[in-house]
Structure 1
Amino acid sequence: MPTTKAPADRDGAGAPHAWPTQPEARSAVPMSVQAAAAWSWRIIMIAAALALLLWVIGYFKVLVVSVAIAVLLTVLLAPFVRFLQQRARFSRGIASGTAVLGLLALVSGLLTLAGRSIVNGFAELSDQAQEGFRELARWLSAGPLDLSTDQIDQYIDQAQAQVSDNASSLVSGALSVGTTLGHVVAGALITLFCTFFFLLDGRQVWAWFVGLMPVSSRDRIHQAGRRGVVTLGGYTRTQILVALVDATGIGLGALILQVPLALPLATLVFLGSFIPIVGALVSGSVAVLVALVAHGPVVALIMVGVVLLVQQIEGHVLQPLLMGHAVSLHPVAVLLAVAAGSLAAGIVGALFAVPIVAVINTVVLYLHGHDKFPGLGDDDHAIVRGEPTAPEEPDAADSAAVVPPSEVDGSAPGTSRLTGEA
Structure 2
Amino acid sequence: MAVGRLSRIRRNLRRAYESSTQEPPEPVVVEPPVEEPSPESHSSTMSRDDAEVPHVLRLAAAWSWRLIVVGVIGYVLLRFFGTIRIVVIPLSIALLLSALLTPAVGWLLRFRFPRSLATGLVLVAGLGAVVGTLTMVVTQFVDGLPELSQNATVGIRQIQTWLREGPLHLDDEQFNTALITGQQWLDQNTQALTTGAVSTAATVFELFTGALLVLFSTFFFLRDGRNIWRFTVRLFPVNARWRMADAGEASWQTLVAYVRATVLVAFIDAVGIGLFLVIFHVPFPFPLAALVFLGAFIPIVGATVSGAVAILVALVDSGWVTALIILGVVIAVQQVEGHILQPLIMGRAVAIHPLAVIIGIAGGVVLAGITGALVAVPLIAVLNTAVRRLTADHHRPEPPPEAVVVRSETP
Decide whether aligned partners of structure 1 residues 45 and 298 sit closer, same or farther in structure 2, where only a CA change above 3 A counts.
same
Task: Tell whether 2:327 aligns with 1:304.
Answer: yes
Identify unmatched segments of 5+ residues in structure 1: 7-16, 162-167, 394-422
For residue 268 of structure 1, the aligned residue among 291, 298, 309 is: 291
CA contact (8 A) 2:292 2:306 kept: yes
Alignment deviations for residues 2-26 of structure 1 (CA, whole Å, 9 cap, x no partner)? 33265xxxxxxxxxx6434898856
| Alignment partner, residue 375 of structure 2 | 352
In the TM superposition, what are the counterparts of 1:200-239 in structure 2 within 5 Å? 200-239=223-262
Change (3 A) 1:358 1:185: same
Residue pairs, 1:158-173, within 5 angstroms = none
Residue in structure 1 matched with residue 60 of structure 2 by the alignment: 36
Distance 1:389 1:304, change over 3 A: closer
Matched, 1:52 2:76: yes
Change (3 A) 1:296 1:184: same
Aligned with residue 65 of structure 1, among 73, 84, 89: 89
Residue 35 of structure 2: SS of its match in structure 1?
coil
Q: 1:176 to 1:273 in 2, by over 3 A?
A: farther
Change over 3 Å in CA distance of 1:189–1:367 after alignment to 2: same
**Alpha-carbon spacing, 1:213–1:269, altered in 2? closer, same or farther (3 Å):** same
Alignment deviations for residues 15-53 of structure 1 (CA, whole Å, 9 cap, x no partner): xx6434898856332111111111111111111111111
RMSD of aligned alpha carbons: 3.9
Q: What is the CA distance between 1:218 and its match in structure 2?
A: 0.6
Alignment of 1:328-343 (within 5 A): 328-343=351-366
Q: Residues 117 and 21 (structure 1 numbering): CA distance in 2 closer, same or farther, change over 3 Å?
A: closer
Residue 103 of structure 1: aligned partner: 126
Report the Cα distance in structure 2 between the residues aligned to 1:177 and 1:204, rounded to whole angstroms. 38
Query: What does 1:85-124 correspond to in 2, within 5 Å?
Result: 85-86=109-110, 88-118=111-141
Structure 1 residues 29 and 141: CA distance shift in structure 2, 3 A: farther
**Does 58-67 or 102-111 show the bigger shift?**
102-111
Q: CA deviation at 1:136?
A: 6.2
Q: What is the CA–CA distance in structure 2 between the aligned matches of 1:325 and 1:54, rounded to whole Å?
A: 30
Q: Identify the range of structure 1 (346-355 vs 266-275) with the bigger mean alpha-carbon deviation.
A: 266-275
CA distance in 1, matches of 2:249, 2:219: 19
The amino acid that maps onto 2:28 is P
Q: Aligned in 2, Cα 1:282/1:129: closer, same or farther, shift over 3 Å? A: farther
Match in the other structure for 2:106: 82
Select which of 264, 270, 278 maps to 1:241: 264
Report the equivalent of 2:303: 280
User: Going by fraction, where is helix more abundant, 1 or 2?
Assistant: 2
Letter in 1 for 2:91: V
| SS in structure 2 of the partner of residue 329 of structure 1 | coil
CA contact (8 A) 2:350 2:381 kept: yes
Q: Percentage identity across aligned positions?
A: 44
Q: 2:35 aligns with which of 19, 27, 35?
A: 19
Structure 1 28/187 Cα, relative in aligned 2: closer, same or farther at 3 Å?
same
The answer (yes or no) to whether the contact 1:128–1:290 under 8 Å persists in 2 is no
What is the letter of the counterpart of residue 30 of structure 2?
T
1:199 aligned onto 2:222:
yes
Deviation at 1:296, TM superposition (A): 1.6
The residue type equivalent to 2:54 in the other structure is P
Please report how far the alpha carbon of residue 187 of structure 1 lies from its aligned counterpart in structure 2 after TM superposition.
0.9
2:279 to 256, 260, 266: 256
Could you tell which deviates more after superposition, 315-324 or 124-133? 124-133
Counterpart-to-counterpart distance in 2, 1:208 and 1:123: 56
Aligned pairs, number: 358
Report the CA distance between 1:351 and its aligned residue.
0.8
Alpha-carbon deviation of 1:121? 6.0
Amino acid at match of 2:29: T
Q: Which runs of 5+ in 2 are unaligned?
A: 1-26, 41-47, 186-191
Could you say if the C-alpha distance between residues 183 and 31 of structure 1 is closer, same or farther in structure 2, counting changes exceeding 3 Å?
Answer: same
In structure 2, the CA distance between the partners of 1:47 and 1:98, relative to structure 1 (3 Å rule), is same
CA distance in 2, matches of 1:130, 1:272: 28
Match of 1:399 in 2: none
Look up the match of 1:366: 389
Distance 1:21 1:186, change over 3 A: closer
Contact 2:292–2:307 under 8 Å retained in 1: yes
- C-alpha change, 1:22 and 1:39, in structure 2 (3 Å) is closer
Please give the alpha-carbon distance, in whole angstroms, between the structure 2 residues aligned to 1:2 and 1:124. 115
* 8 Å CA contact retained: 2:364, 2:372: yes
Cα separation, partners in 2 of 1:112 and 1:295, compared to 1, 3 Å = closer
Could you tell me how far apart the structure 1 residues matched to 2:344 and 2:164 are?
Answer: 43
8 A contact 2:274–2:288 mirrored in 1: yes
What SS class does the counterpart of residue 53 from structure 2 fall into? coil
**Structure 2 letter corresponding to 1:219:** W
Q: How far does the alpha carbon of each residue in 1:136-165 deviate from its partner, in whole angstroms, 9 at most, with x for none? A: 68658866xx456599999xx9xxx9xxxx
Larger Cα-atom Rg: 2
1:373-388 pair list within 5 angstroms: none
Query: CA, structure 1 residues 245+133, in 2 after alignment: closer, same or farther (shift >3 Å)?
Result: farther
Residue 409 of structure 2 aligns with an amino acid whose one-letter code is P
Alpha-carbon distance in 2 for matches of 1:388, 1:35: 41
Say if 1:141 and 1:149, in contact at 8 Å, map to a contact too. Answer: yes
Helix, strand or coil at the partner of 2:52: coil
Answer yes or no: is the 8 Å Cα contact 2:296–2:302 preserved in 1: yes
| 1:45-95 Cα distance to aligned partner (Å, 9 max, x none) | 111111111111111111111111111111111111111111x21121221
Quote the Cα distance in structure 1 between the aligned partners of 2:383 and 2:305: 28
Residue pair 2:314, 2:323 contacting (<8 A) in 1 also? yes
Q: Distance in 2 between matches of 1:107 and 1:93?
A: 21
